Structure 1
Amino acid sequence: MIPDVDNDSMVYLNGDFVRLGDAKVSVLDRGFIFGDSIYDVVPVYGGKPFRMDGHLARLQRSLESVRIDAGWTLAQWEVLVFDLIARYAPKNGDCLVYIQVTRGVARRDHAFPKGVAPTIFAMVSPFKRPTPAQREQGLTAISLPDIRWLRCEIKTTSLLGNVLAKQAAVDAGVDEVVQFRDGCLSEGSSCNIWVVKNGTLLAPPRDNLILEGVRYAFLEQLAFEAGVPFEARPISEREVDEADELMLTSASKEVLPIVRYNGKPVGAGRPGAVYAKLRAGYDRAVE
């Protein structure tokens, strides 16, 4: 039994819906041995998936990037998501649909195995939206060197660098980290980071150094609708230090302000005007 986990909840595993407590994979599964696997998470509001096309397209891109052939079309992934929601999500409730695909079970060898079926796993978990305190009072963060590999655009389960970054935030008593590589902003432990200066919304380029969150294009769209100028370009540590506003985005955190950074207030030390516009647009889209 795993503490704080509903072992009686039902999950999808390789074509069957089974009790979580009974779901098993081999210790030779390459996802377990090598972290040789891909995942994505689709948020669900009121029983309806949000920005699902973007999440499933990213799932397919990641699979193609590491040459895992799941043999599924986008339409089949959609059916799985809707099936999980219909079967196991709270009626008209909020939840997260987690999907993971590994290269499968094979003798331990670094080279790709041949003729091996992938392991496909999916589950529904509860989703609690950000609290009013988080939305209205904001979060805290510290800076940290980005020690991860150079293919961060692939959403792989090999997340040790992200785990260490998140634990650094926990050890420092803050909510998140802001990571830098070669003096330029990359991202948080599991979120994209946004900078506001003189009313302009700034984000790092879409490249291999960040996981382009589905909310990246979404926030760019919300900025356009709100009349907020947007730039995607390298952002220096100094620019982050001197930002008028800082924000983070992810599927589970949505969009939230960072009001203290490295122990100092960001701007006026409270959520700013650009955040307020983007937050309002995000809420309208969810509704």
Structure 2
Amino acid sequence: MSIRPYVLTEKEFMNQEELMYPFEERGLQFGDGVYEVIRVYHGEHYLIEEHVERLYRSAEAVRIEVPYTKEEMYKKLDQLLQLNEFTGDGKVYLQITRGTAPRDHTFPEGVTANLYAYVMDLPRKVEWMKQGVSAITQPDVRWDLCYIKSLNLLPNVMAKQAAAEAGSFEAILHRDGSVTECSSSNAYLVKDGAIYTHPATKNILHGCVRIRVEAFAKKAGIPFHEQAFTLDDIKSADEMFLSSSTAEVMPIVEVDGDQVAEGTPGTITQKLQQAYEEDARISAEQSIFSASGKKALS
């Protein structure tokens, strides 16, 4: 995955090699900042309104003043793709911190926020989407304000690393047996034709793709319940899947070494995948269905 040369900052566009911040940068020393990851397909942002809205909600929650208005942010992010002549599939990483100031826990006065955004190539995980992935379960030891997309991700990193060391794609997080979400995605369970997922409380990130998944389900007449499920419920699940900007709608076919139902992506999951592809305007050549020779689901 290659990062394209031009980056957006709080002041201007510049070459990535010119981007430098002092060591007393609050994002580096305190994790005092927020971020977003925006998916890009064929050179166009996907769900950019949802991501920008969430960025500003997160910044407001931690009292960071974003250096651009929302309207300016939309224009700047479009310019970032144009300046890099980016026309493929990728992602934009955008980070805002409280700024640079002598190290002290209290907020510095008269300091401008630091911002940078860059775009990099990111092909779709087609084979994993077709076959499904495995996951492990881990206790959710994060702070209580997970709806804020903050830079404080060490618990997420540790859970993701545990999954990687177990040969799995993701770690499903739980609090006393009640599933919240995954280390970097939202988690769903399908039972008797209905979808279950943790309510959008302060304890989970309100995923942008999660919003779309709910809309896809309702349009297809699939019951969608914001109701937490448990580790015990997983044992009798008909299907499981996760969603995120980089993983899209990803089937989970194994948890902690145990097969989920038949161990293959389920019908409801595939319907949501197809709805996602249509919404994101994925070409027929890139579709996980045409690539596998499957017919479109009715």
TM-score, reference length from structure 1: 0.95
Match of 1:249 in 2: 243
Match of 1:160 in 2: 154
1:36-75 alignment, distance < 5 Å: 36-75=32-71
C-alpha displacement of 1:284: 0.8
Query: Counterpart of 1:187 in 2: which secondary structure?
Result: strand
Unmatched segments (≥5 aa) in structure 2:
282-298
CA contact (8 A) 2:132 2:251 kept: yes
Q: CA RMSD in A?
A: 1.3
Match of 1:23 among 19, 25, 30: 19
Match of 2:174 among 165, 180, 184: 180
In 2, distance between residues paired with 1:85 and 1:5?
A: 14
1:100-139 alignment, distance < 5 Å: 100-131=95-126, 133-139=127-133
**Stretches (4+) displaced over 6 A:** none
C-alpha displacement of 1:158: 1.2
In 2, distance between residues paired with 1:48 and 1:89?
A: 11
In 2, distance between residues paired with 1:194 and 1:121?
A: 32
> In the alignment, residue 213 of structure 1 is paired with which amino acid?
G
Cα deviations by residue, 1:212-239 (Å, 9 ceiling, x for unpaired): 1101110000001111111001212211
> In the alignment, residue 77 of structure 2 is paired with which amino acid?
V
Match of 1:200 in 2: 194
Query: Counterpart of 1:215 in 2: which secondary structure?
Result: helix
In 1, distance between residues paired with 2:170 and 2:236?
A: 18
Match of 1:285 in 2: 279
Query: Counterpart of 2:189 in 1: which secondary structure?
Result: strand
In 2, distance between residues paired with 1:80 and 1:243?
A: 44
Match of 2:184 in 1: 190
1:65-104 alignment, distance < 5 Å: 65-91=61-87, 93-104=88-99
CA contact (8 A) 2:2 2:120 kept: no
C-alpha displacement of 1:5: 5.5
In 2, distance between residues paired with 1:265 and 1:5?
A: 35
CA contact (8 A) 2:81 2:119 kept: yes
Query: Counterpart of 2:7 in 1: which secondary structure?
Result: strand
In 2, distance between residues paired with 1:170 and 1:41?
A: 21
Query: Counterpart of 2:94 in 1: which secondary structure?
Result: strand
C-alpha displacement of 1:165: 0.7
C-alpha displacement of 1:22: 2.2
In 2, distance between residues paired with 1:89 and 1:201?
A: 40
> In the alignment, residue 10 of structure 2 is paired with which amino acid?
N
Cα deviations by residue, 1:209-266 (Å, 9 ceiling, x for unpaired): 1111101110000001111111001212211232111101000110010001111110
> In the alignment, residue 75 of structure 2 is paired with which amino acid?
V
Match of 1:170 among 164, 167, 170: 164
In 2, distance between residues paired with 1:30 and 1:210?
A: 24
C-alpha displacement of 1:14: 2.6
Cα deviations by residue, 1:183-226 (Å, 9 ceiling, x for unpaired): 21111110001110111011101011111110111000000111
C-alpha displacement of 1:89: 4.4
C-alpha displacement of 1:181: 1.0
Unmatched segments (≥5 aa) in structure 1:
none
CA contact (8 A) 1:89 1:95 kept: no
C-alpha displacement of 1:90: 2.4
CA contact (8 A) 1:89 1:124 kept: no
C-alpha displacement of 1:121: 0.7
Count of paired positions: 281
Match of 2:288 in 1: none
Match of 1:34 in 2: 30
